[in-house]
Every structure is written in structure tokens, then in C-alpha cells.
């Protein structure tokens, strides 16, 4: 029993056994690096595949990896709307739809866990702010030392939502079924994967400069791209509000040490929340891991049924794998653009410019 008038911070609480929690956190790290490795393998395989057609069949041929369509979110969104509007599943980039559905499903269940478990950009962003802490110390890296003032932070956070609204208007509102069908079957969309590759392989000095600038800023502001500019993150953040699994704080055992808030890379005041509902929460489990008191901070279903970190990690991975296996089993993974079409479009640069869209 707590004595009346006793300061909460002075009450001794049972320390938690972190072995199971650390195992769950290690699983998140393993999943992150696993998906990064898969992404790199896909990138190398896709480049070798592209070189075969760019050289007129004179270089090594490898099969085109369907997973490359995970980097075509707009094509996936267009295909998803067309499927819902017409009942026809887009077979130009079917894996893009399957991967998009997997990502949306993960976010609907486990908040924006895609960003902290699967997304390679999310992992690279972590590298930068952790590098900043090592080089300059915590006090120079937001939010671990300093915090951006709210009058600036909130307008900057709205930028990603403005970008999301732009794409929602351009695709979900402005494009009717016929316009969607024409775009899906256009040369521009058929080789959207090739354009994406060429964007990185042959990027301009300006593009390279912007990427370098984002990297430098990310050293001092944790997850800068994700927090302020990523429209994908904005979509997942909006979808995460009805998520049944959220981080819960047990107020009766919390001693207000603020350990959870100090380690949160999303700058969420977890020590004040009953349930963390913020659209910035990525379920990275950093706050849960930092909490020193047993049964005080943990993932929970609708704030009632407690989950452990390992269950969250397994759940995120399982949802993604279910969609991947489902896409392959049902035949909605490999696209139907023939090698002859790819050869023609790549050799003639057909579809690589915007004026190919009517």
C-alpha cells in the first residue's frame, strides 16, 4: 500500500526482468537487418537484370525480382484503387499492391511498426542519429538533448501530411477508373521500376545534394525524413489511430522517472500517457525497454491484454510473410510485362519520360 503523502518517485517498485524484453528487442533488430539485406539483394539482382536489357542481351541475365515493386508505392496505390473500383487486379505491378496491403495491415494492427521493423529508410535514419550521439553526445541530438520548439515542430510535421493530401487528391480523388486503367497500361507505368532504378543510378548533382543534406540533418534531428517529410509515414500514422495494439502505461506503478520519454526517438511524452496514441509512435519498443519497473510500460491490446515485445516482433513479421506467401501462391506477384516489352522500352527509352502518359 502506498502511504498518503509519500512522493511517488520515492516508492520502491519491483524491478523488471528484462531478459524476455531484450529478446523481443533483438528480434526487432534482426528483422530490420534481415529486410535491409533482402532489399540490397533485390537491388543488385534488379540492376543485373536491367543491364541485360540495356546492353541488348549481351550481359548476364537473371530473373526480375518481384520484390522490387515494394519501392513503387504510388503504382501500388493506383493499382489498389483500380482493383477496388473495377474488381480487376492490376497485373502490371501486382506485387506493389500485395506489399502495400501488407504494410497497411501491419500498421492497422501494430501502429507504424513498418517504419521501425521493416523499412530500410527507417533503419538508416536510426544509424544517423545514433552516429550523432556517438560523435557529438546526446545534448546535440534531438530529442535526446535538445528539442525543437513546438511552434516550429508542428508546422514541419504537417509537411508530410500535405504531401499525402497531394497524392490522395491526384490519385484517389482526381483519377477515375478509365484514367487509372490508361495509366496502369501506359509504357510509363510498365517500366516504373526501371525509372526508379535510373533515378538512383544516374541521379543529378542536385538530387545527390538533397540526399546528403537530409543525411547530415538526420545526424542532429532523429528520423528527420520520417518525422517531417515522408508521406508514406503520414498515411501509416493516420491508419495507426484505430490500431488495437498500443503502448500502455500503468499509472499506479509508474514513478515518473521519465526514462521512457528520454529514449523515445519520436519525441513522445510517454511518461504522461495512459495509452500512447500518437501518430508518430512506431512501436519501436525503446520506451518499453527503458522502463525499469515491471508491469508499467508494455504493448497491450485495447489497453487490456498485455503483450510482450517478442509477440509484437513475431506478429509484424507474420503479417508481412502471410501477404508475401499469399501473393506468390495466388499468382499476384510476378508481373505480366514480357521480356520483349522491357527490351523494347529500355532500348528505345520508351516510357522513361512523362510525356508518354496521355
Residue 220 confidence (pLDDT): 95
Q: What is the pLDDT of residue 16?
A: 57
Q: Does some domain include residue 62?
A: yes
CA separation for the pair 280, 236 (Å, rounded): 9
Give the pLDDT of residue 214: 95
pLDDT score, position 351: 54
pLDDT at 345: 85
CA distances from 103 to 33, 59, 125 (A): 17, 35, 19
Q: Per the domain annotation, does 1 fall within a domain? A: no
Cell reading at 216: 547530415
Q: In whole angstroms, what is the distance from residue 94 CA to residue 189 CA?
A: 12
Which residue range is the domain that position 145 belongs to?
Answer: 12-356
Q: Tell me whether residue 260 is in a domain.
A: yes
284 inside domain: yes
Q: Is residue 117 part of a domain?
A: yes
Residue 25 confidence (pLDDT):
80
Q: For residue 124, tell me if it sits in a domain.
A: yes
The pLDDT value given to residue 176 = 93
Per-residue confidence (pLDDT) for residue 46, from 0 to 100: 96
| Model confidence, pTM | 0.90
Number of domains in the chain: 1
Which helix (H) or strand (E) segment is 232 a member of? helix 231-239
Q: Running along the chain, 358 residues long, what does each successive block of 10 average in pLDDT?
A: 45 55 82 96 96 90 94 93 93 95 96 95 95 91 86 93 94 92 91 91 90 95 94 94 95 91 92 93 92 91 91 95 96 91 81 42
What string of DSSP letters covers 109-173?
HHTTHHHHHT-HHHHHHHHHHHHHHHHH-GGGSBTTS----HHHHHHHHHHHHHHHHHHIIIIII
- Residue ranges with strand state E in 148-251: 245-249
pLDDT at 347: 81
Cβ count within 10 A of residue 47: 16
Residue 138 lies in a domain: yes
Whether 4 is in a domain gets the answer no
Q: How far apart are CA 243 and CA 300, in angstroms?
A: 11
Instruction: Give the contacts of 31 (CB within 8 A, at least 6 positions apart).
Output: 117, 118, 313, 316, 317
Distances (CA, A) of 336 to 74, 95, 249, 332: 19, 11, 50, 10
For 333, the grid coordinates are 506477384
Alpha carbon distances (Å) from 275 to 63, 248, 301, 302, 327: 47, 4, 11, 9, 35
How is residue 268 written as a grid cell? 513522445
Amino acid at each position: 500500500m502506498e502511504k498518503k503523502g509519500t512522493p511517488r518517485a520515492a516508492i520502491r517498485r519491483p524491478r523488471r526482468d528484462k531478459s524476455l524484453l531484450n529478446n523481443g528487442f533483438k528480434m526487432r533488430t534482426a528483422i530490420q537487418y534481415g529486410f535491409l539485406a533482402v532489399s540490397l539483394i533485390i537491388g543488385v539482382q534488379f540492376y543485373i537484370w536491367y543491364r541485360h536489357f540495356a546492353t541488348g542481351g549481351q550481359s548476364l541475365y537473371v530473373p526480375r525480382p518481384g520484390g522490387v515493386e515494394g519501392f513503387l508505392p504510388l503504382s501500388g496505390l493506383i493499382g489498389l484503387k483500380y482493383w477496388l473500383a473495377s474488381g480487376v487486379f492490376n497485373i502490371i505491378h501486382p506485387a506493389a499492391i500485395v506489399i502495400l496491403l501488407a504494410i497497411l495491415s501491419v500498421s492497422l494492427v501494430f501502429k507504424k511498426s513498418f517504419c521501425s521493423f521493416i523499412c530500410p529508410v527507417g533503419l538508416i535514419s536510426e544509424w544517423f542519429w545514433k552516429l550523432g550521439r556517438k560523435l557529438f553526445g546526446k545534448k546535440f541530438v534531438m530529442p535526446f538533448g535538445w528539442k525543437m520548439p513546438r511552434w516550429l515542430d508542428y508546422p514541419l510535421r504537417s509537411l508530410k501530411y500535405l504531401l499525402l493530401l497531394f497524392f490522395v487528391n491526384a490519385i484517389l480523388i482526381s483519377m477515375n477508373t478509365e484514367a487509372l486503367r490508361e495509366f496502369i497500361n501506359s509504357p510509363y507505368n510498365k517500366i516504373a521500376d526501371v525509372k526508379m532504378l535510373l533515378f538512383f543510378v544516374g541521379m543529378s548533382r542536385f538530387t545527390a545534394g538533397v540526399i546528403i543534406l537530409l543525411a547530415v540533418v538526420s545526424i542532429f534531428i532523429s528520423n528527420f525524413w520520417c518525422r517531417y517529410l515522408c508521406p508514406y509515414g503520414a498515411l501509416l500514422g493516420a491508419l495507426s489511430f484505430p490500431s488495437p495494439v498500443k503502448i500502455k502505461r500503468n499509472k499506479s506503478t509508474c514513478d515518473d522517472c521519465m526514462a521512457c520519454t528520454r529514449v523515445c526517438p519520436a519525441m513522445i511524452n510517454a511518461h504522461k500517457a495512459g495509452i500512447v496514441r500518437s501518430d508518430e509512435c512506431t512501436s519501436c519498443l525503446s520506451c518499453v525497454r527503458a522502463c525499469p519497473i515491471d508491469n508499467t510500460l508494455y504493448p497491450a491490446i485495447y489497453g487490456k491484454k498485455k503483450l510482450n515485445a517478442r509477440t509484437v516482433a513475431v506478429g509484424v513479421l507474420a503479417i508481412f510473410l502471410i501477404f508475401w506467401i499469399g501473393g506468390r501462391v495466388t499468382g499476384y506477384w510476378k508481373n505480366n510485362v514480357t521480356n520483349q516489352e522491357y527490351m523494347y522500352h529500355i532500348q528505345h527509352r520508351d516510357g522513361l519520360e512523362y510525356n508518354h502518359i496521355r
